[in-house]
Structures are given as C-alpha cells and as structure tokens.
C-alpha cells in the first residue's frame, strides 16, 4: 500500500437523511438479525435456543459498554454529538425503543414458541407450583443438600446496609415480617453462579430454574418469619475499564487495581425485573442502586436467557446441526502425519499457505506451526501477540512455555485491556512469565489487537523468518465457531516487517514504514484511503470489503466518493455499519450485506481492483473503525500468491452469492433478508470446499 498524499473532499450530503447511520442502533440491528435465527422454525430446535442465548449475552455487553459510555457522555457539557447528529440522550431514547421491541420478541419466541416445542421434544421447563408431592420432596432434598449451604441471605436494616449487587448477578428481593408484625423488611438472596441455573429432575423429566427452587424454600432461609413476597431481579453495571495507561508506572498493577475498583464502584446501567415486583420493592431498588425508572426493564418470563447455553449443551444431537469436524488441507496433511510437524517449515518455504477456520483445522495449522517452532532445535526465537486465548491450558500457551524452558527466546505481547478478558489475561501472563517467557504489555496508549506470530529459525543458508498473520484470536475454542482466515508465509519481506513490528511493540522503535505489512496506527488509514481513491480513477474500479464493523466516517466518505466516481462496491459487514448504501445520486453503486449463521463471521478481507487492472488482496485484524485505525496496533498483510488470491476471490464470490444466510442493508438503515432463489448457504459451501481440499480434489486454487 502506498501512503495517501491528498485529502478526500466530502461528497455532498444526500437529501434523504444524515450522511451516516447511528452505530448504536446498527448494533441493535445486528442483534435483531440474531433474533431472527431464533425465530426461524426451519432450524433445529436447540440451535434456535443457542441464538436466543447469544442475543441475551450480546445485550449484556451492549449495556455494559455502549450504554454505559453514553450515560457518561450525558454528563459532559456540552454533550458530544454522534456522527449522525444525535446527542447521548437522543441515542439512549432510541436504544430504549429498539431494545423494548427486541425483548418483547425475545420473550414471545421463548415463551410461546420454544418452550412448547422443547416440551414436545422431552425437554420440560417445570414450575415449582405445578409439581406433585413427590417432586416437591425431591427438590427439597436437593435444596437442603446442595443449595442451602451455598446461600447467604442479607438483611437490610439499620444494622445491615444495602449490600453491593455484583454485575450481571441474578438475585431474589425478599420481603419478610414478624408473624404478628406489620412492617415488612427487605432481604437480598443472591442466586449462586457456581450452581447450575437449571436443576434437573432424574431420568430427564425436566428442569426447574434455580431461582424458583430457592424461592420455594425461603422459609428455610428465614425460619420463623412470614414470607410476604419474592421477586427476581438482575443488575448490569458499567464494565468498561477507565484507565489512563500512560500515567500508570506499572500497567499490570494498574489494571488489577482498576478491576478491583470496578467490581465495587461501577455504576448501574440496567435493572431487569419480572412483572410481579411490587412498587415498594422497586422503589427501594431504584433508591439504593441510584438509578431511575428509565433504567428498569420489565421481562416477561425468565431473566437472563444467556443461561440457555446449558440447555443447548444437552446431549441431544437430534435437535442440533450436525457437528462440523475441521479438516486439514492436503498441503498440511503430510507435515502432521508423524505428529512432529517438522515438515511445516518446508511446506511454507515451498509457498504460502492460506487457512480458513473453522472449516480447516486450527490445530493442524496454527497450533502445529507454533508447536513445531517450540520443538525444532533450529528455532532461535518465537514472538507472538496474544489478545484472547483459552488460558494456561491452551496448546499455544503450553508450546510457548515449552519453548522458553528449552532456552529459546520467547516473547509474548499480552493485551491486558482485552475487554472482558482482563483478569484471565493477567493470570496466564503471569504463568508465562514464571516459565521464562518475556511478557510485555504493548505500546503506551494503544491496545494491541494484531494477530501475528514470528518464528526465527537458523537454517543451513542462514537465518529465515516464518510468519503467521490472521484475522482471529489465538484461541482454539473460538476457532471452532468463528470464521477466520490466516496466512502462513516464509516471505522475507513480511518476516522482516514482523520483526520490525515486534521491535515497535517491545522497545522504543519509531518505525513507521514497512515493506509489505500495513500497520495501524502507523499509516493504515492513509493507505486504505489511497487504495479507495485509486479505484475512483480507474474506468472499471472495483472494491469488495469483508469486515465485522464499518463505522469510520473518513473511510465511509472515501467509499461514497469512489461510488460517485463510478466504482462498484460490495461490502460484507457482519455487525455495525454506519454507511448508507443505495441512496440515488449518492451511494447507489454501494451494496451492503451481512451473513449471519451457524458460525460467527469474523474474517477481514480487503479486495481492490478489477480483473483487468489487477486485483490486490489483504487480510488482517483490523475493522474499519476509528479505534482500529487510530488507537490500536493492527496488522494487515497482502496476499501475493496467485493461487491464494484465487481462493480469496472464491471466498468473496461465495459470500456475495449467499441467499440463505444473507441480509441486505437499505438506505434508511433497515435490514431485510435476501430472497432465496438459488439456495446458496455460504457456510455449507465452505464446508464442501474444505472437504474437497482435504481429499486432494483441490490442491491449489487457480490451477
């Protein structure tokens, strides 16, 4: 990529509305597409349950981060305005409207559709009030032996202040009074997260939610007291770290301190209650949690449907998609045959390797690469960025530890600020350090999101570098469900660039120019802008981008300008999209689609150019968001091998032809399902292609 030399002039505003769509409402539109899968009666029953659990967890994160951020912005004078012209208050009002509609649909599909279908399939959700005497006796035994010892009822009175309610905890608000008394008293019982949320009956006869089991036995917790009422409630708190790391002398200690502070002081941003909660109890919660009624969400039915993951994990293959077993493409099969992986370096010297997860095995490609490096006596150094992984038990972490123990130079760039994984990352960073791995925490003021591994190997003809650049985390668990691509290469220029990148991350390097890698924040924005502008100068300009999110105003404006210059643009955006496609006279040459299916679309692939002018492909970790381009360390690599470029072309062609999982974005920001005409499911098609490669039916794309 070449550095941009000219600034982009903004295209004229369309007459039909704002230049950009709101990113927060776009986020909720993605959740609506997930909900549509839960509503899809053609899917296996437990797959629908899984999508309902995913939606619930998505909303949890949305409130912990995005809504929490908007509430903080409300306190700023004057309040900031979003790129689409809305104040924080206006965005919160629009969010409330859309979430109310989402949760109404969510409750309806669970209560009226999934529960009856689950019962027909033999998975019964039972209520304690409907149980016969024998079943009630069984639950009493379970409560006394397994649940009661874990519970801690907390009274609220002059001697007992209102307890701290932890983030995302499920609780019972209990009102009790003396047998002859008139005044009710409040107590809180936390539903222990260490216990199963759904208590099973023997012989698979059904499940009772844990909070209902506790509620049915409150007399045991409060002996001699009259139980006036009990109501489940759930609290969501701000979970975004508020840390200025350039003022922290020790980033590890600073994040540990911030995590402790957050656990005790994070403000409440959402209170979920059931429909039966009394005004007295609600008023007490509002007062003690320091929120108002606009933060209260009335849920029809069970709170926290994210717990439905436990139901999805039941051993009922008849109610699930047939499991997919990742395969090994023919070029990597031989190097895995003896279990050593020693031939992998020979394979990479012969030519670059492109891997497509979860269709192709993460274990026999990326993990095998790092394992081979750890075992090979010729390897001198391994350097790797780690954003999210599965912890000390991860095969990759074990390989790094083994390499360090054998005397190799091992460097792990651990991103402590990976949202939601801060505590886990601290734990395994310390485990790596104890094993002798050089652990660093990145560049001050920047989050390291790049997915890069560098292996330095001594060979008969000198030092050679081997590199993996990917779009997904080094996490074997998510590699089974996240769609990602990665490049394994022995290209000398990319190896040189990877070395310079790690020097930038671990030392005081001021490196800004790279031979082939494109690195943020050291020029990625300018390079992407220049590539978009270049297409605008060509008679048959063509741009195809596949990303998770597209919200950066400058990149969007560049795409608008290119479209007005006649460039055909196809965008595959899984989640957030602030660009308005299809506006006549403005963006009518831009089409936006989203693939939502069994696997989470996670790869970032960039295509610039037409077949006549020559096509350039890039892949890497960066989404098209201000945070990725300006406030994160990201790395994108070009794909130079014609066969691998043909394979990326095939990936793009398949996702653009999908008419079963695809949605299209309208100019007004609404999404609609792409009509099914040819019956192409891109994820199933990729499974077919992976099997063909594993069987040797496809050896090199483009042959």
Return the active site residues.
Answer: 449
Buried b or exposed e, range 69-108, using 16+ CB within 10 angstroms: ebbebeeeeeeeebbbebbbebbbeebeebbeebbebbbe
What is the number of other CB atoms lying within 10 angstroms of the CB of residue 633?
Answer: 26
- By the 10 Å C-beta count (0-12 exposed, 13-18 middle, 19+ buried), 383 is classed as buried
CA–CA distances in Å: residue 355 to residues 93, 339, 363: 44, 19, 11
How many whole angstroms separate alpha carbon 581 and alpha carbon 20? Answer: 10
Closest Cα to residue 619, out of 486, 513, 499?
486
Neighbour-count burial of 252, counting CB atoms closer than 10 A to its CB (0-12 exposed, 13-18 middle, 19+ buried): middle
Q: For 579-689, list the strands marked E by DSSP.
A: 590-595, 600-601, 605-608, 616-620, 632-639, 662-665, 671-673
- By the 10 Å C-beta count (0-12 exposed, 13-18 middle, 19+ buried), 526 is classed as middle
Three-class SS state of 546: strand
Pairing of β 226-237 and β 268-274: antiparallel
| Residue-wise DSSP of 322-384 | PPP--B--HHHHHHHTTSS-TTHHHHHHHS-EEEEETTB-SIIIIIHHHHHHHH-TTEEEEEE
DSSP codes of every residue in 51-92:
HHHHHHHHHHHHIIIIIHHHHHHHTSSSPP--TTS--HHHHH
Residue 391 has a CB neighbour count (10 Å cut-off) of: 15
Contacts of 97 (CB under 8 A, 6+ apart): none
| CA terminus-to-terminus distance, the chain | 27
CA distance 497 to 502: 9
Residue 603: phi and psi, rounded to 5, are -75, 150
Q: Is there a cis peptide before residue 78, judged by omega within 30 degrees of 0?
A: yes
The rounded radius of gyration (Å) of the Cα atoms in the chain is 27
**Running DSSP on this structure, what letter comes out for residue 584?**
T
Q: Where are the alpha helices (DSSP H) in 190-250?
A: 210-216, 218-221
- Chain-centroid distance of CA 358 in Å reads 15
Question: What single DSSP character describes residue 14?
Answer: P
Residue 106, CA distances (Å) to 109, 294, 451, 626 in order:
5, 20, 35, 32
Task: Give the burial class of 616: count Cβ atoms within 10 A of its Cβ; 0-12 exposed, 13-18 middle, 19 or more buried.
Answer: middle
Which tokens in the block code for residue 266?
């994070």
Are 575 and 548 within 8 A, CB to CB? yes
- Helix boundaries (H) for 143-233: 210-216, 218-221
Distances (CA, A) of 177 to 62, 227, 230, 280: 39, 7, 12, 14
């Amino acid at each position: 990529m070449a550095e941009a030399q000219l600034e982009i002039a903004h295209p004229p505003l369309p007459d039909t509305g704002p230049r950009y769509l709101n990113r927060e409402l776009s986020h909720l539109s993605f959740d609506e597409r997930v909900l549509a899968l839960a509503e899809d009666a053609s899917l296996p029953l437990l797959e629908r349950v899984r999508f309902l659990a995913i939606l619930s967890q998505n909303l949890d994160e949305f409130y912990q981060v995005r809504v929490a951020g908007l509430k903080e912005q409300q306190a700023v004078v004057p309040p900031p305005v979003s790129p689409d012209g809305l104040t924080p208050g206006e965005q919160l009002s629009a969010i409330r409207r859309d979430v109310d509609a989402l949760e109404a649909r969510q409750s309806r599909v669970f209560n009226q559709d999934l529960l009856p279908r689950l019962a027909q399939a033999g998975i019964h959700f039972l209520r304690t009030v409907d149980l016969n005497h024998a079943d009630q006796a069984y639950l009493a035994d379970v409560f006394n032996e397994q649940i009661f010892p874990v519970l801690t009822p907390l009274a609220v009175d002059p001697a007992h202040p209102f307890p701290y309610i932890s983030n995302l905890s499920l609780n019972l608000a209990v009102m009790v009074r003396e047998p002859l008394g008139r005044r009710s008293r409040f107590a809180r019982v936390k539903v222990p997260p260490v216990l199963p949320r759904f208590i099973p009956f023997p012989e698979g006869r059904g499940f009772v939610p844990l909070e209902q089991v506790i509620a049915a036995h409150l007399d045991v917790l409060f002996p001699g007291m009259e139980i006036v009422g009990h109501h489940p409630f759930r609290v969501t708190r701000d979970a975004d770290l508020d840390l200025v790391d350039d003022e922290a002398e020790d980033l590890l200690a600073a994040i540990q301190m911030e995590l402790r502070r957050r656990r005790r002081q994070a403000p409440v941003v959402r209170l979920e209650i059931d429909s039966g909660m009394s005004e007295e109890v609600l008023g007490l919660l509002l007062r003690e949690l320091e929120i108002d009624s606009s933060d209260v969400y009335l849920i029809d039915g069970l709170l926290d449907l994210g717990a439905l993951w436990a139901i999805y994990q039941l051993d009922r293959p008849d109610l699930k998609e047939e499991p997919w077993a990742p395969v090994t493409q023919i070029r990597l099969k031989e190097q895995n045959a003896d279990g050593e992986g020693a031939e992998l370096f020979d394979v990479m010297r012969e030519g670059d390797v492109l891997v497509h997860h979860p269709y192709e095995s993460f274990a026999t490609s990326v993990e095998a690469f790092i394992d081979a490096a750890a075992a090979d006596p010729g390897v001198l150094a391994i350097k790797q960025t780690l954003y999210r992984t599965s912890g000390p038990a991860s095969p990759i972490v074990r390989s790094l530890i083994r390499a360090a123990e054998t005397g190799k130079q091992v460097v792990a760039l651990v991103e402590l600020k990976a949202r939601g994984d801060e505590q886990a990352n601290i734990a395994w960073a310390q485990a790596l350090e104890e094993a002798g791995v050089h652990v660093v925490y990145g560049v001050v003021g920047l989050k390291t999101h790049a997915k890069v591994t560098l292996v330095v190997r001594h060979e008969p003809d000198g030092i050679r570098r081997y590199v993996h650049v990917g779009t997904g985390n080094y996490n074997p668990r998510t590699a089974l469900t996240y769609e990602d691509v990665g490049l394994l290469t022995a290209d000398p220029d990319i190896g040189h660039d990877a070395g310079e990148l790690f020097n930038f991350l671990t030392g005081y390097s001021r490196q800004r120019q790279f031979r082939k890698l494109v690195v943020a924040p050291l020029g990625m924005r300018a390079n992407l802008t220049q590539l978009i502008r270049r297409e605008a100068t060509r008679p048959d300009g063509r741009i195809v981008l596949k990303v998770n999110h597209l919200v950066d105003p400058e990149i969007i404006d560049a795409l608008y300008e290119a479209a007005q210059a006649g460039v055909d643009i196809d965008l595959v955006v899984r989640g957030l999209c602030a660009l308005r496609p299809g506006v006549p006279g403005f963006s009518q040459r831009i089409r936006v689609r989203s693939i939502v299916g069994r696997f989470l679309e996670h790869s970032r692939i960039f295509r610039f150019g037409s077949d006549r002018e020559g096509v350039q492909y890039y892949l890497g970790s960066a989404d098209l968001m201000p945070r990725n381009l300006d406030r994160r360390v990201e790395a994108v690599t070009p794909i130079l091998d014609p066969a691998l470029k043909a394979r990326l072309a095939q990936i793009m062609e398949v996702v653009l032809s999908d008419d079963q999982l695809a949605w299209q974005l309208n100019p007004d920001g609404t999404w609609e399902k792409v009509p099914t005409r040819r019956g192409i499911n891109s994820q199933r098609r990729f499974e077919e292609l992976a099997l063909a490669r594993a069987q040797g039916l496809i050896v090199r794309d483009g042959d």
